[in-house]
Amino acid sequence: MTRVLRVLLATLVLGVQGYAARPAAEPRTRTSASVEVVCTFENPSYAGACVEKTARGAKETPAAACQPILDCLNNPMCSKAYCRATSIRQGWKLKAAD
């Protein structure tokens, strides 16, 4: 019985040491291919303009980068918080994408 416990303990110790020796994962950073886009949305039921920032790929247009946010703003099932966490979920239009 003690031999089995020793083997299990040795396995556990070696496993922990192997885990600790692994290098930490590098944090994700934006690649030079991604560019920040400022998306401006408007809605007659919302006071002022809604401005959100997002990243776009090198081959993606600014309007295409803003599209997922616009889709969320017009979807009552979307739970993401945009435009100061507004609950207005219809009638949004993209005013500008820069």
pLDDT tens per residue, the chain (98 residues)?
566 656 655 665 555 444 444 444 443 444 455 789 999 999 999 999 999 999 998 899 999 999 999 999 999 999 999 999 999 999 999 999 99
Contacts 24+ apart (CB under 8 A), 11-14: none
Q: Is residue 74 part of a domain?
A: yes
Domain that holds residue 70: 35-97
Q: Is residue 22 part of a domain?
A: no
Residue 47 sits at φ, ψ, to 5 deg, of -75, 115
**In 1-98, at which residue ranges do the beta strands (DSSP E only) sit?**
35-42, 50-56, 93-97
Please answer whether residues 68 and 52 qualify as being in contact, where contact means their C-beta atoms are separated by less than 8 angstroms. Answer: no
Q: Is residue 60 part of a domain?
A: yes
Q: Is residue 81 part of a domain?
A: yes
Please answer whether residues 39 and 52 qualify as being in contact, where contact means their C-beta atoms are separated by less than 8 angstroms. Answer: yes
Q: Is residue 73 part of a domain?
A: yes
Q: Is residue 41 part of a domain?
A: yes
Residue 31 sits at φ, ψ, to 5 deg, of -80, 165
Q: Is residue 24 part of a domain?
A: no
| Cβ neighbours of 67 (radius 10 Å) | 16
Q: Is residue 91 part of a domain?
A: yes
- Provide the domain count of the chain: 1
> What pLDDT score does 10 carry?
62
> What pLDDT score does 22 carry?
45
